Amino acid sequence: MKYLIYIVCFLFLSTNLALAQSTNLIKHKVQKGETIAQISIKYSVTPSDIYKLNPDAQKGVEENTILIIPNKAKVKVEIPSNSTTKKHTVLAKETLYSLSKLYNVSISDIEKANVETLKEGVKIGMVLMIPAKGKSIPVEKPKPNNPKTAVYHEVKAKETKYAIAKQYEITIEQLEKLNPEIVNIELPIGFKLLINGEKINVAPKPIIVNVPTPKPSESLYVIKAKETLYSISNQFEVTQEELLALNPELKDGVIEGMSIKVPMKSSVLAMKKEYKDLTKSIQKGTNKKLALLLPFNLTKLDQDTINSTKARLKKDKFLNMTLDFYAGALVAIDSVRKMGLNVDVTILDSNETKSTSNVTSLVQENNLKIFDAIIGPFYQNNVEKTASLLSASNVPVFSPLSKDYDKKFPNLVQATPSVDDIKNAIFDFMRAKNGNMIAIVDPKKASVKQYISENHKDVLFAQFTEKGSLDIENLKSMLVKDKTNFVIMETEKTNLILSITNTLASLLPNYDIKLVILGENDALDYEEIAMTRLTKLKMHYPSLTRVNESDEANIFENSFKRKNKIVPNQFATRGFDVTFDVLLRLTQEKNITETLNETATEQVENRFYYKQNPDGGYTNKGVYILYYDTDLTIKEAK
């Protein structure tokens, strides 16, 4: 009986002890894609706190893994009532602004209490003294130059610099700076890496230098600050898929200082093309054949009466667009003939809809395989079919209008930049200016935020309050004084546009701020939003076309007005630019493929900067960056 009582008492005491301990612990089930860093932020603990209780987590965590998390909310820290400060260890993504909100003190009070500590800014793991509100602020004394306690990591099998840097939330560059002996080598198993602090009488294991040698067709490239997978692929003219195939570690993100492989041939192609005036290098002795396949759909017109034809011309926008493009193309043809060029131009009716056309019969009946170039049809699936039919003859087929394209053919030339290329151009511009990029995205525009998050990871996002208004203090905390702050605005709400522009205008005396939009926004045309509001912030945006008041542009406009008794619209100008550019490329000493590879051009409103696709064909990357100037004009940003 006595023995039974001892057992009951032991179980009772054990259970109460376990319950006492469990109040300071939390069980967390890892969700898909979650990282230790994200979990530590969620529970306001450090990654090292989690690793102490879950040693296996250092190798990585998988979905549904159960982790034990210290419950800091249950661990009370007794602070004497007369204490003027608290200690706070900085976690990932914490800022002075977020800490001031957490402890209900001003940013300046925190800075005064940590003058020495904050000399190099806020860093993860830094211990800050937080002054109590209403108490006198203690002045931080200069710290003695004693070495910090060193923290090491022992390299395990298959571990990389990237994985270790990510685990400790530092960059590869910082890791190599702390351990200069690992630069340009693969990490040997068992080597002790310094993660934090200073080495004290540590004799590291000898390192066998093993610099990976790229293949003859490859070269090594070290990623720079704020570069993205998109910007690198654009720089070296390769697809993102090609870079990922050569560098699987890029799937986890692009890290500054990371060495990656790039195809050698692409680095040669990445040389910037100069814009040239091809009218100065034409060869008059050439005899070229060009065909325009335009959707007049004459079979439908033949069935109409005169009255129904007139009615159709008033309502059929697609037919009017075709006629405008055709009128501009005729001016281009007339212009090259006046230069003394001998070009045989054939104009054919593609008789097309989105799903049908007569291109197969046109190719056969007109022997288009012997032509030097084709412009059209208009619908993308029809122009792709034309390129397919003529690919064996390697006749270049220019798609004049479509922005949406998927299939690649070696002879298909997309004369209009894609939607993504247009948006990406403005991000490349902002990076080239070494700008600080901040996005204010309407909470209802989730797809825009996702696009920016996935493709441009160096962009910061301004937050909104619970009431749905812009958090102005949060926005201020992101602005930088010694850089141009490009603030991307994505919303169609008039009230939000007014609020954002008012806020940014009020900050102009202290910061260099430029407003940015990623594309057309009809809301900016409303009367409530005065143009002066946008010019004050010098609003920048990407555009397919420019404003051109040059002599050449005036010559085209006057020629068009003489022939058609009206001013050319965007489709007429597009018809001239595409046709004139192709005709000039056909009359050069080099063949048209060489001019696509080597020469960029500008015509009246459009620029043509062709880049070869790795899987065939060419795409036009020629996008203008325009801005509203303070003199109420639109100018090109250089």
Residues 178-224: tens digit of each pLDDT = 887 776 666 777 777 888 766 554 444 444 434 345 555 566 777 77
Ranking 69-73, 87-91, 100-104 by mean pLDDT, the lowest is 69-73
Q: What confidence score (pLDDT) does residue 302 get?
A: 56
What residues pair up with 348 in beta bridges, in sequence order?
Answer: 293
Over residues 267-289, the pLDDT tens digits come to 333 446 788 999 999 988 778 99
Q: What confidence score (pLDDT) does residue 583 get?
A: 96
Highest mean pLDDT of the ranges 74-88, 156-170, 562-576: 562-576
Identify the residue with better confidence: 628 or 147.
628
Query: In the block, which residue shows the tokens 């667009």?
Result: 321
Q: Please give the average per-residue pLDDT across 549-572, as a whole number.
A: 94
Identify the residue with better confidence: 80 or 8.
80
Does 514 have pLDDT greater than 60?
yes
Q: What confidence score (pLDDT) does residue 8 get?
A: 34
Q: Do domains 22-76 and 425-529 have the same CATH topology?
A: no
Does 487 have pLDDT greater than 90?
yes
Q: Where are the domains of the chain?
A: 22-76, 278-417+549-627, 425-529
CA angle 49, 112, 79 (to 5 degrees): 50
Query: What's the rounded Cα separation, in Å, for the pair 579 and 584?
Result: 9
What band does 137 get if pLDDT is binned at 50, 70 and 90? Answer: low
Q: What confidence score (pLDDT) does residue 21 get?
A: 41
Which helix (H) or strand (E) covers residue 116, if one does?
none
Query: What's the rounded Cα separation, in Å, for the pair 297 and 584?
Result: 29
Q: Please give the average per-residue pLDDT across 501-509, as a whole number.
A: 95
Ranking 264-278, 284-298, 346-360, 441-455 by mean pLDDT, the lowest is 264-278
CATH of the structural domain 22-76, one choice from 3.40.50.150, 3.10.350.10, 3.30.460.10, 3.30.565.10:
3.10.350.10
What band does 80 get if pLDDT is binned at 50, 70 and 90? Answer: very low
Query: What's the rounded Cα separation, in Å, for the pair 164 and 257?
Result: 14
- Per the prediction, the chain carries an average pLDDT of 81
Q: What confidence score (pLDDT) does residue 303 get?
A: 59
The CA–CA distances, whole Å, from 180 to 169, 175, 196, 259 equal 19, 8, 14, 15
Nearest to 236 by CA among 262, 275, 274, 258: 262
Does 314 have pLDDT greater than 50?
yes
Query: What's the rounded Cα separation, in Å, for the pair 7 and 404?
Result: 76
Q: Is 332 helix (H, G, I), strand (E, B) or coil?
A: helix
> CATH says 278-417+549-627 is which class?
alpha beta
Strand order in the sheet with 287-294: 342-349, 287-294, 373-375, 397-399, 412-414, 618-620, 610-612
- Residue 317 phi/psi, 5° resolution? -65, -35
Ranking 214-223, 368-377, 588-597 by mean pLDDT, the lowest is 214-223
Q: Please give the average per-residue pLDDT across 53-61, as a whole number.
A: 76
**Residue ranges with strand state E in 99-251:** 127-131, 151-154, 192-196, 218-222
Q: What confidence score (pLDDT) does residue 153 get?
A: 81
The CA–CA distances, whole Å, from 335 to 299, 554, 560 equal 30, 13, 11
- Count Cβ neighbours within 10 Å for each residue of 447-477 and write b for 16 or more, e otherwise: ebbebbeebbebbbebebeeeeebeeebbeb
Quote the percentage of the chain above a pLDDT of 70: 80
The CA–CA distances, whole Å, from 324 to 151, 154, 352, 544 equal 71, 70, 17, 18
Q: Please give the average per-residue pLDDT across 105-127, as a whole number.
A: 80
Query: What's the rounded Cα separation, in Å, for the pair 597 and 414?
Result: 14
DSSP state of 207: -
Q: What confidence score (pLDDT) does residue 377 get?
A: 96
Q: What confidence score (pLDDT) does residue 216 get?
A: 53
Q: What confidence score (pLDDT) does residue 75 get?
A: 38
- Count Cβ neighbours within 10 Å for each residue of 327-366 and write b for 16 or more, e otherwise: bbbbbbbebbeeeebebebebbbbbbeeeebbbeebbeee
CATH number of 425-529: 3.40.50
Nearest to 376 by CA among 364, 354, 359, 356: 359
- What pTM was estimated for this model as a whole? 0.61
Contacts of 569 (CB under 8 A, 6+ apart): 324
Does 437 have pLDDT greater than 70?
yes
Q: Please give the average per-residue pLDDT across 89-113, as a whole number.
A: 80
